[in-house]
Amino acid sequence: MLGVVRKKMLGQSLLKIRPAVSVLRSYSSSAKHMTVRDALNSALDEEMSADQKVFLMGEEVGEYQGAYKISKGLLEKYGPERVLDTPITEAGFAGIAVGAAYHGLKPVVEFMTFNFSMQAIDHIINSAAKSNYMSAGQMSVPIVFRGPNGAAAGVGAQHSQCYAAWYASCPGLKVLTPYSSEDARGLLKAAIRDPDPVVFLENELLYGESFSVSDEVLDSSFCLPIGKAKIERVGRDVTITAFSKMVGHALKAAEILEKDGIDAEVINLRSIRPLDRSTINASVRKTNRLITAEEGFPQHGVGAEICASVVEESFAYLDAPVERIAGADVPMPYAANLERLAVPQVEDIVRAAKRACYRSVPLAAAA
Catalytic residue set: 90, 159
The H or E element containing residue 34 is strand 33-35
CA distance 214 to 33: 8
Q: Return phi, psi of residue 81, to 5°.
A: -80, -20
| Residue 67 CA: distances (Å) to CA of 26, 64, 70, 265, 314 | 22, 7, 8, 36, 44
Of the candidates 129, 227, 211, 217, the residue with the CA atom closest to the CA atom of residue 177: 227
Cβ atoms within 10 Å of 98's Cβ, excluding its own = 24
CB 176 within 8 A of CB 199: yes
Q: Interior CA angle at 47 toward 18 and 9, to 5°?
A: 55
Q: Residue type at 263?
A: D
- Say whether 330 sits in a helix, a strand or coil: coil
**Which of these, 267, 255, 247, lies nearest to 350 by C-alpha position?**
255
